[in-house]
């Protein structure tokens, strides 16, 4: 039909881009002995007969995940740390107050009436990663407060794009969120390394995080100290220890 060949353009209603969210998780390890800084490895010319100098490194079995994201309106989602729980029971769970010293606020509006300071959030579980329970809790505790007016009505809905990780296909969660006006779009499995959507926004994250980890590790080892979980916000946001 002739109407199939007409020219058109993408159109967004006012504030609609603020309601399109894309989040993804990345590494928050404290081990800098084998971690990659992201991107292509540099080409280094050297003499194999000359010994390299020793470099201080932090060897740690502790792992965690950092969840970052943004809206189509270029607003940054407050980072979320998913920490590995070392306690033997929920009753003994605790976190050092030092963790909050460098946990910065993020400025954003999203679905709020005005631009506000939004806090960094954190959660804990046995593996330090996301599962169906933690993902559901993260969306309801960290994402939903950004859109207090969300509902299943025109102009009030929200689109949330995730990767294909565990919990993204939890039908109970998806149905519950859909009733509230949140449409979750899971990514195709094993494609985030191809599309690299969030890497376009956070391409420097791994490089800067690893450089901070290396710098802090060398400084602490000079005074015979090691890196703790409470240093994670410092490695992410930077600052003065």
Q: What is the DSSP string of 65-132?
A: EEEEEEETTSPBPPPEEEEEP-SSSGGG----GGGGSS---EEE-TTSSS-EEE--EEEEESSSS--H
d(CA 116, CA 108): 6
> In this predicted structure, what is the pLDDT of residue 80?
92
> In this predicted structure, what is the pLDDT of residue 167?
66
Please state which of the ranges 20-34, 45-59, 73-87, 183-197 shows the lowest mean pLDDT. Answer: 45-59
pLDDT at residue 227 greater than cutoff 60:
yes
- pLDDT tens for residues 146-200? 999 999 998 899 999 887 766 677 888 889 999 999 999 887 665 656 666 666 6
Mean pLDDT of the chain: 81
More confident residue, 113 or 60: 113
DSSP class of 34: S
pLDDT at residue 34 greater than cutoff 70:
no
d(CA 131, CA 148): 25
* Residues of the chain above pLDDT 70, percent: 78
**Dihedral angle sign, alpha carbons of residues 173, 174, 179, 181:** positive
First-last CA distance in the chain: 67
Q: Specify whether the CB–CB gap between 169 and 146 falls below 8 A.
A: no
User: Any bridge partners for residue 106, and if so which?
Assistant: 118
Please state which of the ranges 65-69, 72-76, 169-173 shows the lowest mean pLDDT. Answer: 169-173
d(CA 160, CA 67): 14
Q: Specify whether the CB–CB gap between 104 and 120 falls below 8 A.
A: yes
Chain centroid to CA 112 = 21
């Amino acid at each position: 039909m002739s109407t199939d060949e007409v020219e058109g353009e993408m159109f967004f209603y006012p504030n609609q881009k603020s309601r399109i969210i894309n989040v993804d998780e990345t590494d928050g390890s404290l081990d800098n002995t084998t971690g990659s800084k992201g991107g292509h490895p540099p080409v280094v010319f050297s003499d194999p007969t000359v010994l390299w100098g020793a470099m201080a490194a932090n060897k740690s079995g502790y792992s965690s995940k950092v969840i970052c994201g943004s809206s189509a309106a270029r607003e940054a989602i407050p980072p979320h740390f998913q920490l590995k729980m070392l306690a033997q029971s929920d009753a003994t769970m605790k976190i050092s107050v030092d963790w909050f010293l460098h946990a910065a606020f993020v400025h954003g509006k999203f679905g709020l009436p005005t631009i506000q300071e939004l806090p960094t959030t954190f959660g804990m579980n046995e593996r330090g990663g996301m599962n169906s329970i933690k993902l559901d809790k993260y969306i309801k505790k960290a994402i939903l407060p950004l859109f207090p007016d969300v509902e299943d009505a025109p102009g009030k809905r929200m689109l949330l794009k995730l990767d294909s990780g565990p919990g993204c296909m939890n039908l109970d969660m998806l149905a519950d969120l859909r009733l509230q006006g949140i449409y979750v779009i899971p990514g195709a499995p094993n494609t985030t390394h191809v599309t690299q959507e969030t890497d376009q926004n956070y391409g420097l994250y791994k490089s800067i995080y690893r450089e901070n980890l290396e710098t802090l590790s060398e400084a602490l080892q000079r005074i015979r100290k090691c890196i703790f979980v409470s240093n994670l916000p410092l490695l992410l946001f930077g600052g003065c220890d």
